[in-house]
Amino acid sequence: MSNQKSYRESHLNKGCDYHNNFMSLPHRAMIWRLEQKILDRILREFFPEKPLEYLDFACGTGRILEYMVPHVQNAVGVDASQSMLKVARSNIPDATIIEADMTRDDVLANRKFNLITAFRFFPNAEAGLRSEAMQVLAKHLNDNGYLVFNNHKNTGSTRNRLARLFGRRGYKGMSIAEAKALVAENGLEILKTYHLCVFPASEKHMLLPRFFLRHIEGMLNRIPVLCNFGENLVFVCKCTKVK
């Protein structure tokens, strides 16, 4: 029997250091800037004039939540980590921030949202937790709302393919097929996929100067055929039928 902790417990004691990494680590900071551009594109395309009731699931220190607050009418962030929420509360006074594990205690009851985000959660979580989380998010999504979640560990990425080609194990994560199956079993479908990190760089191995890498990634993420090779994928999902 495995003694490995559930992803539920993995971030309970993280806080300031986790948050600061997105600003101080060069590669991660670059990815965050590119993610912001994708969020802007999603808002323009799917929410041109809608007043948004917004939920950020597994909000952590509030990186996504803080960025989205100026664009929404009401914002709610939920996470199970007290230490991470302490950072979120200090940075985002205009959001309702709740400490809870929604897969075990659904504190939102019957509340519905027309935008739900979940970043850096699903590829890290074990299969059972993924299903439990997606089920509760589908429950809280309006019939005409959109769920936006990312897979920052796409197992089909260029980086992972090269690792396997050279006899290395690569990283564990989630495939595109697994993401499609996960949403389908909860009455959702993926409408659009955005991709980042096609070039096989990492924090320890940037391979190119940041200036060039940032511009290369900016071009590559505009080419749809390269979607399968992106290490970081952002999915926009909608209900397949009225609930």
CATH number for the domain including 173?
3.40.50.150
Q: Does some domain include residue 5?
A: no
Going by C-alpha positions, the residue among 9, 24, 12, 28 that lies closest to residue 202 is: 28
Give residue 83's domain range.
Answer: 17-239
**Would residue 182 count as lying in a domain?**
yes
Q: Is residue 6 part of a domain?
A: no
Q: 8: pLDDT confidence band, cut at 50, 70 and 90?
A: confident
Domain tally, the chain: 1
pLDDT digits (tens, 9 = 90+) for 96-139: 999 999 999 999 999 999 999 999 999 999 999 999 999 999 99
Residue 12 lies in a domain: no
**Confidence band, pLDDT 50/70/90 cuts, at residue 9:** confident
Q: Considering the domain boundaries, does residue 1 fall inside one?
A: no
Does any domain span residue 11? no
- pLDDT above 90 (res 76): yes
- Over the stretch 134-191, which tens digit does the pLDDT of each residue have? 999 999 999 999 999 999 999 999 999 999 999 888 889 999 999 999 999 999 999 9
Written as one string, the DSSP assignment of 17-65 is HHHHHHHHSHHHHHHHHHHHHHHHHHHHHH-SSPPPEEEEET-TTSHHH
Residue 9 lies in a domain: no
In the chain, pLDDT over 90 holds for what percent of residues? Answer: 74
Lowest mean pLDDT among 89-93, 103-107, 202-206: 202-206
The pLDDT score that the predictor gives to residue 3 is 55
Q: Which long-range contacts (CB under 8 A, 24 or more apart) does 203-212 make?
A: 203/25, 203/26, 203/27, 203/28, 206/26, 206/27, 210/26, 210/27, 210/30
Q: What is the mean pLDDT of residues 203-232?
A: 89
Q: Tell me, yes or no, whether 55 lies in a domain.
A: yes
Backbone phi and psi for residue 72, each to the nearest 5 degrees, phi listed first: -125, 165
- Residues forming a β-bridge with 170: none
- Whole-model pTM: value is 0.93
Class of residue 211 by CB neighbours under 10 A (exposed 0-12, middle 13-18, buried 19+) = exposed
